[in-house]
């Protein structure tokens, strides 16, 4: 048992620190309500509770709340894969810039939530990460459900289409994630001299630049993620299952909110059920 704990600890700390933080928050925010320590209602983003009762933690927990089912496993797998790729390749040695990307895209999603009344933004965060990865992966071929193959840049849209087919409604939180990542890329390419994408000083002090070549063991470049067709079919198809549950979970979790919140979100399964 002690050996297993030591192995887990070593593997855990091999994960780059920002990706490790995302995974840890996902597990904590999801599992704490699932075991009954707090109500899932307290994790939802309900704006009247934020600016009326100063429940500011909702601005954070909304990005990490998931249902406890198979999609949670897929979420962890894809956060690990795509976030680690960005942290160790695209933003190699620049953790502050990666953190700033996450803050900017999350801020965009919060604005969308305020306008549209979305209580859960976890799929927005994950989709923004996948979208930026797909933009950098470019014309690399990925394999989807039923043997469909296409360039990596179309992966976010394939996930949206898959969710639309499953649910019959637009996955708004995923679209927010795609839009925020596209906006980030547009500013980077069209306004390269802009300081907007440069991490502010407080982030650089908290997350100083690292020497080149310090990426986490086992991390791979963009060209290797989907090389094995069998594993890629399982991986990308599985991501559809993970991402596809996002908007349905938003409606599910929110439906358990007390009526005093002033919102009626519709019906769904209870949090923590498969």
pLDDT of residue 50: 96
Q: How many other C-beta atoms are found inside a 10 Å radius of the C-beta of residue 238?
A: 17
Q: Facing residues of 141 across strands?
A: 151
99 is written with which tokens?
């953190």
- Distance separating alpha carbons of residues 166 and 108, to the nearest angstrom: 26
165 is written with which tokens?
């087919």
Give the helix/strand (H/E) hosting 141: strand 141-143
| Sequence-distant (≥ 6) Cβ neighbours of residue 77 within 8 angstroms | 235, 238, 239, 242
- Cα–Cα distance list, 187 to 90, 98, 183 (Å): 16, 15, 6
- What global pTM score does this model have? 0.78
Answer yes or no: are the C-beta atoms of 198 and 94 closer than 8 Å: no
| Sequence-distant (≥ 6) Cβ neighbours of residue 173 within 8 angstroms | 109, 118, 120, 121, 122, 123, 124, 127, 246, 247, 250
Give, for all 274 residues of the chain, the pLDDT tens digit.
888 888 899 999 999 999 999 999 999 999 999 999 999 999 999 999 999 999 999 999 999 999 888 888 888 988 998 999 999 999 999 999 999 999 999 999 999 999 999 999 999 999 999 999 999 987 888 877 777 888 889 989 988 998 898 888 889 999 999 999 999 999 998 887 788 899 999 999 999 998 755 444 433 333 333 333 333 333 443 333 444 445 555 555 555 455 434 434 433 334 444 4
- Distance separating alpha carbons of residues 67 and 177, to the nearest angstrom: 19
Answer yes or no: are the C-beta atoms of 120 and 65 closer than 8 Å: yes
Cα 189 to its chain centre, rounded Å, is 23
Answer yes or no: are the C-beta atoms of 85 and 64 closer than 8 Å: no
Cα 56 to its chain centre, rounded Å, is 20
pLDDT of residue 236: 41
Torsion angles phi and psi, residue 142, rounded to 5: -120, 160
pLDDT of residue 140: 86
pLDDT of residue 90: 93
């Amino acid at each position: 048992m002690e050996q297993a704990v030591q192995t887990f600890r070593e593997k855990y700390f091999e994960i780059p620190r920002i990706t490790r933080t995302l995974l840890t928050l996902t597990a904590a925010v999801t599992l704490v309500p699932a075991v009954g320590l707090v109500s899932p209602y307290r994790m939802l983003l309900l704006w009247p509770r934020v600016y009326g009762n100063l429940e500011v933690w909702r601005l954070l927990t909304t990005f990490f709340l998931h249902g406890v089912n198979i999609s949670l496993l897929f979420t962890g797998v894809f956060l690990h894969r795509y976030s680690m790729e960005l942290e160790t390749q695209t933003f190699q040695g620049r953790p502050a810039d990666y953190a700033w990307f996450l803050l900017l895209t999350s801020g965009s999603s919060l604005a969308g939530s305020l306008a549209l009344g979305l209580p859960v933004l976890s799929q927005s965060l994950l989709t923004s990460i996948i979208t930026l990865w797909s933009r950098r992966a470019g014309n690399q071929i990925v394999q989807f459900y039923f043997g469909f193959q296409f360039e990596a840049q179309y992966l976010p849209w394939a996930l949206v289409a898959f969710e639309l087919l499953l649910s019959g409604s637009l996955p708004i939180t995923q679209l927010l994630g795609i839009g925020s990542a596209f906006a980030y890329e547009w500013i980077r390419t069209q306004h390269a001299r802009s300081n907007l994408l440069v991490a502010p000083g407080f982030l650089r002090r908290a997350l100083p630049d690292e020497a080149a070549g310090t990426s986490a063991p086992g991390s791979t470049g963009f060209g290797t993620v989907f090389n094995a067709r069998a594993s890629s079919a399982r991986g990308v198809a599985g991501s559809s299952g993970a991402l596809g549950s996002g908007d349905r979970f938003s409606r599910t979790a929110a439906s358990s909110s007390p009526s005093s919140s002033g919102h009626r979100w519709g019906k769904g399964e209870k949090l923590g059920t498969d």
